Each structure stands twice: as structure tokens, then as C-alpha cells.
């Protein structure tokens, strides 16, 4: 995929792009989407080309984001609100620049980390003569099978990495909450202990004062 450009809105829009997973022609990108921000990407697509957009929110809030895909004429081809993950396949109806945007404008405080994979067209054949009428040789058939298996392995590895990143983020959030809760309990215990000491001292002080008055 050729990434034509991107635009952002919001106070921290220029900081959103964190990581380009592959080279400039790559289709997989992971980026940070700040709160109250929107980020758009553009792609030049030729008519009748089959395309697939797949995305997933890795970290942040309720792991949801708004996604919208527009054609060259501004028509909305796909629009979903507050989705954690989704996949959409379409065939380009005309030549032009297609635009897809991810929005976190509904969130006031929470940053999101979003992964997306935008595939344009189909992979070229492994062999130039793969689509010929005659049958493939045994070696060619084995190479094609291995190639398809490797593609599946890459897809599985990508999804496992996303799940691992999401699980690690949740574990870190839980660890932070547990740490804050433990600190709060320690502070409360300290305050209660000091309060009990002063309360007991006040009881003995009252008795000593009363005894002195009675003796007088």
C-alpha cells in the first residue's frame, strides 16, 4: 500500500504517528490517536481493484474508535461508531483517492493505540505462468502451497502480537490500579492508627483532669 498522506485534528495531532510497521509501501500501521483527535489516510486506487480494510484498537479506554471510509466523490462506503475491531472489503467503483479516517473525538481523556491493515489489490502470482491452462509441476504446486501457508502464518503472528500487546496493556493498567489501591489502603491504615493513638490519649487526659478537680 502506498500511503499518500495523513491529517490530524486536535491539540496533539502532530504527535499521533508513532510507528510504521513496514516500509513506505507497507499496508500495516500502528499509531497513537490522542483524545479529541481525528486522523485520516489517503490511497490512490484504480477502478475495479479489490481492497480490504481491517483495524483493531490495541490500547486505551474501552478499546473503541470511530472509522469511516470515503470514495473519491465523497460518498461514504463504510462507517462504524465506537468499534473495537472490524474488517471491510470493497471493490473500487472508480479511479481516485480514497480516504479512511479514525476518530477519537468522543473521548475526552483517553488516548488510543490503533492498528490497521489496508490491502489494495491481490498478490501477484508466485510464478509468471501460474494462471496457464496446463497443470503446475509438483515442485510449483509445493511452492504455491508453502507460499499460502506462510501467508497464513504471517496473519496469525500479526493477530497474536496484537492480542499480546492488548493483554500487556490491560495487565499494566490492572497493576497500576492495584498499586494505587495498596497505597491508599496503607495511607488509610496509617491515619486510622494515628487517630486511635490520639483518641486513647484523650481518654486518659480527661480522667486525670477529673481526678484533680475532685481532690481539690
d(CA 22, CA 125): 22
Give the model's pLDDT for residue 17: 37
Q: Global pTM?
A: 0.64
d(CA 34, CA 37): 6
pLDDT, tens digit, for every residue of 72-130?
988 999 999 999 888 999 999 899 999 999 999 888 888 888 998 888 877 776 666 55
d(CA 64, CA 72): 26
Topology (CATH) of 27-122: Jelly Rolls (2.60.120)
Which runs of consecutive H residues, i.e. helices, occur in the chain? Answer: 138-215
What's the whole-number average pLDDT of the chain? 78
pLDDT, tens digit, for every residue of 131-140?
555 666 778 7
d(CA 57, CA 162): 9
Ranges of each domain in the chain: 27-122
Amino acid at each position: 500500500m502506498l500511503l499518500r498522506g495523513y491529517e490530524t485534528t486536535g491539540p496533539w495531532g502532530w504527535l499521533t504517528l508513532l510507528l510504521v510497521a513496514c516500509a513506505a509501501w507497507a499496508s500495516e500501521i500502528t499509531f497513537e490517536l490522542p483524545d479529541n483527535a481525528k486522523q485520516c489516510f489517503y490511497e490512490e486506487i484504480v477502478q475495479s481493484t479489490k481492497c480490504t480494510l481491517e483495524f483493531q484498537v490495541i490500547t486505551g479506554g474501552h478499546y473503541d474508535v470511530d472509522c469511516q471510509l470515503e470514495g473519491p466523490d465523497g460518498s461514504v462506503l463504510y462507517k462504524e461508531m465506537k468499534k473495537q475491531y472490524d474488517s471491510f472489503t470493497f471493490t473500487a467503483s472508480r479511479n481516485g483517492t480514497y480516504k479512511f479516517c479514525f476518530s477519537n473525538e468522543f473521548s475526552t481523556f483517553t488516548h488510543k493505540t490503533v492498528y490497521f491493515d489496508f490491502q489494495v489489490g491481490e498478490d501477484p502470482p508466485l510464478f509468471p505462468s501460474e494462471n496457464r491452462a496446463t497443470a503446475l509441476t509438483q515442485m510449483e504446486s509445493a511452492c504455491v502451497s508453502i507460499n499460502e501457508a506462510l501467508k497464513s502464518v504471517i496473519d496469525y503472528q500479526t493477530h497474536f502480537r496484537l492480542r499480546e500487546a492488548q493483554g500487556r496493556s490491560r495487565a499494566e493498567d490492572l497493576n497500576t490500579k492495584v498499586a494505587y489501591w495498596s497505597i491508599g489502603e496503607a495511607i488509610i491504615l496509617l491515619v486510622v492508627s494515628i487517630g486511635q493513638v490520639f483518641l486513647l490519649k484523650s481518654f486518659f487526659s480527661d480522667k486525670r483532669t477529673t481526678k484533680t478537680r475532685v481532690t481539690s
